[in-house]
Amino acid sequence: MTQSPYERVKMARDNKRPTGNDYISNIFEDFFALHGDRRFGDDQAVVGGIARLDDKPVTVIAIEKGHTARERASRNSGAPHPEGYRKALRLMKQAEKFGRPIICFVDTSGAYCGISAEERGQGLAIAENLMEMSTLCVPIISVLIGEGGSGGALALAVADEVWMLQNAVYSVISPEGCASILWKDPTRAEAAAVSLKLTAEDAKTLGVIEKIIPEKNIGEESFYTEMKKMLSQTIGQLEEDSELLQKRYDRFRSIGKQGV
């Protein structure tokens, strides 16, 4: 590992990095997009639908940032509104009904901070996902492919296994935000990035993720083939597990238990 944590943050934010849609189109077959939360609207920052993974029906949900400036504008740069989380939950409940495993690709700087988002209950939308995902009785795998920004990322990552791309980051707050609150100096983001322990290696050490996915061939066919194989294999194992929900509970239950 040669890059500093803050360099990782920049890599994770790079708009040339594969986004949610790239993973969907390269890994799955017969993807059929489903739209809307049936409450208010259809959030373009969250893409979701049904598809096949090696012939197995699955539900796929991805936060989509977009690559170009125009795409980023239409996707709100991957910062979901409450309806994005509600769409995701609707699709997850549907997956549970039909016994389909769920795969989430997470890439967001965070849930959108705006007047409309607050008026429509951003906090509640995230809270409901956390609560409901903890007991959905189908396997859930979440892959952090870029930025894992706080509660807005966690709302799609209450899973049986959480994986991170080698240069993805996962953090409770952006390094810039942390530096400006703690040290009243946003330019100290580099130091904050170190202290926050937000790299994939850190997350693995802290017991927050199961797997780090190498990036040497990121975006190439072999990269997606490899990920497809890992997803298929792990889903197969999780489907066999009769203690899936207890293990999911224990997975989070054990984090931060050191106290006493």
Partner 1 sequence: MAFLQFLKPKNELESGGRAAAPVQQDSGEPEKTCPNCHKSIPLSKLWADQLTCACGHHFRMKARQRIHILTDKGSFTELFSDIHSADPLFFPGYQDKLETVRNASGEEEAVICGRTRIGGEECCLFVMEPYFMMGSMGSAVGERITSLFEYAAENRLPVVGFTVSGGARMQEGLISLMQMAKVSAAVKRHSDAGLFYLTVLTDPTTGGVTASFAMEGDILIAEPGAVVGFAGARVIEQTTRKALPKGFQKAEFVLEHGFIDAIVHRREQVETIASLLRIHNGGQKE
**Closest distance between partner 1 and the C-beta of residue 223, in Å?**
25
Nearest to 19 by CA among 72, 55, 70: 72
d(CA 4, CA 37): 39
Residue 52: helix, strand or coil by DSSP?
strand
Pick between residue 170 and residue 224 the one whose CB is nearest to partner 1.
170
224 within 8 A of 29, measured Cβ to Cβ: no
Pick between residue 9 and residue 53 the one whose CB is nearest to partner 1.
9
Pick between residue 53 and residue 125 the one whose CB is nearest to partner 1.
125
**Closest distance between partner 1 and the C-beta of residue 187, in Å?**
16
Tokens 């940032």 label which residue? Answer: 65
DSSP 8-state symbol, 76 = G
d(CA 105, CA 224): 13
Pick between residue 20 and residue 177 the one whose CB is nearest to partner 1.
177
**Closest distance between partner 1 and the C-beta of residue 157, in Å?**
8
Pick between residue 24 and residue 86 the one whose CB is nearest to partner 1.
86
| Paired residues of 170 in beta bridges | 148
Pick between residue 57 and residue 151 the one whose CB is nearest to partner 1.
151
**Closest distance between partner 1 and the C-beta of residue 118, in Å?**
5
**Strands 161-165 vs 140-149: parallel, antiparallel or unpaired:** parallel
190 within 8 A of 4, measured Cβ to Cβ: yes
**Closest distance between partner 1 and the C-beta of residue 132, in Å?**
7
Residue 217, token pair as written in the block: 């061939």
**Closest distance between partner 1 and the C-beta of residue 55, in Å?**
32
207 contacts: CB under 8 Å, gap ≥ 6: 254, 255
**Strands 102-108 vs 56-63: parallel, antiparallel or unpaired:** parallel
Residue ranges binding partner 1 (CB under 8 A): 110-111, 113-115, 117-124, 126-128, 130-132, 134-135, 150-151, 154-155, 158, 170-174, 177-178, 181-182, 195-198, 202-203, 206, 208, 248-249, 252-253, 255-260
Residue 69, token pair as written in the block: 């400036």
